[in-house]
Amino acid sequence: MKELRVNSVVANPKKHVATVTRKANWLQSPQRVWLRRVIFQIHLWVGVIVALYCIVIGLSGSALVFKDEIEHITEAQVYRITPVPQTVTLEQAIRAIESRRPGWVASGLMDFGKTSEATTVLMRRKTGAPESNYRMVSFNPYTGAVLLDRMRYDGVLGWISNLHFYLLSGKTGLQISGWMSVGLLLLCISGLVVWWPGVKRWAGAIVLRLHGRKRINWKRLNWDLHSVVGFWSCAALLAVTFTGLYFAFPAATGAITVVATGGSPAKAMAQMEAPDRKPAPSSAPSMTVDQVIAVARRALPENAPPNYLYLPGKPGAPFSATGYYNGSLPYSQLVRISLDPHTGEVLGKADTTQQMLGLRVIQYFFTVHFGSFGGDGWLGIAVKVIWVLVGLVPVLLAVTGLIMYWNRKLKPLWLRLR
Give the separation between CA 227 and CA 206, rounded to whole angstroms: 8
Please give the model's pTM, rounded to 2 decimal places. 0.87
Q: What is the pLDDT confidence band of residue 293, given thresholds at 50, 70 and 90? A: very high
What pLDDT, on the 0 to 100 scale, is given for residue 10? 43
Which phi and psi (to 5°) does residue 328 adopt?
Answer: -85, 160
**Percentage above 90 pLDDT, the chain:** 73
**C-alpha span between 345 and 170 (Å, rounded):** 37
Q: What is the pLDDT of residue 267?
A: 92
Q: What is the pLDDT of residue 417?
A: 81
> Helix, strand, coil: what percent of the chain each, to 5?
55, 10, 30
Map out the domains of the chain as residue ranges.
Answer: 264-355
Region 339-351 average pLDDT: 95
* 4: confidence class by pLDDT, cuts 50, 70, 90: very low
Q: List, for residues 20-57, the tens digit of each pLDDT value.
A: 444 547 777 788 888 889 999 999 999 999 999 999 99
Confidence grade of residue 3 (pLDDT, cut at 50, 70, 90): very low
> What's the pLDDT score for residue 220?
83
pLDDT averaged over every residue in the chain: 90
Does position 17 have pLDDT exceeding 50, yes or no? no
Given a cut of 60, whether residue 214 has pLDDT beyond it is no
Query: What tens digit of pLDDT does each residue of 164-176 get?
Result: 999 999 999 999 9
pLDDT computed for residue 18 by the predictor: 47
User: Where does 251-401 show beta strands of DSSP type E?
Assistant: 306-310, 319-324, 334-339, 346-351
C-beta contacts of 273-277 below 8 A and 24+ residues apart? 274/348, 274/350, 275/348, 276/318, 276/338, 276/347, 276/348, 277/338, 277/347, 277/348
Q: Is the pLDDT of residue 347 over 90?
A: yes
Give pLDDT tens digits for 83-102: 999 999 999 999 999 999 99
Strands (E), 203-356: 306-310, 319-324, 334-339, 346-351
Whether pLDDT at 411 is above 90: no
What's the sign of the alpha-carbon dihedral 405, 406, 408, 412? Answer: positive
Range 344-352 average pLDDT: 94
What are the φ/ψ torsions at residue 146 (nearest 5 degrees)? -75, 130
The answer on pLDDT for 162 being more than 80 is yes
> pLDDT at position 33, please?
85
The average pLDDT across 405-410 equals: 87
- CA 290 – CA 79 distance, rounded (Å): 22
Q: Is 275 helix (H, G, I), strand (E, B) or coil?
A: coil
Q: How confident is the model at residue 213 (pLDDT cuts 50, 70, 90)?
A: low
Give the N- to C-terminal CA distance of the chain in Å, as an integer. 67
Nearest to 241 by CA among 188, 195, 168: 188
Mean pLDDT value across residues 264-276: 86
Distances (CA, A) of 331 to 203, 242, 334: 40, 17, 7
Least confident range from 22-26, 109-113, 258-262, 344-348: namely 22-26
3-state secondary structure of 334: strand
pLDDT at residue 75 is higher than 80: yes
Band of pLDDT at residue 410, cut at 50, 70 and 90:
confident
What is the percent of the chain where pLDDT is above 70?
A: 93
Q: Looking at the predicted structure, is the pLDDT value of residue 371 above 50?
A: yes
Instruction: Give the integer Cα–Cα distance in Å for 117 and 73.
Output: 13
pLDDT tier for residue 211 given thresholds of 50, 70 and 90: low
State the maximum Cα–Cα separation within the chain, in Å, rounded to a whole number: 101
Q: In the beta sheet, which residues pair with residue 339?
A: 319, 346
Question: Residue 81 in contact with residue 92, Cβ under 8 Å?
Answer: no
150 has a pLDDT exceeding 70:
yes
Average pLDDT over residues 302-309: 96
Half-sphere exposure of 96 (CA within 13 A, CB side): 14
pLDDT band at 6 (very low <50, low <70, confident <90, very high): very low
- Give the DSSP H/E element, type plus range, for residue 149: strand 146-151
pLDDT for position 9 = 44
- Which listed CATH number (3.10.450, 3.90.1580, 3.30.565, 3.40.50) goes with 264-355? 3.10.450
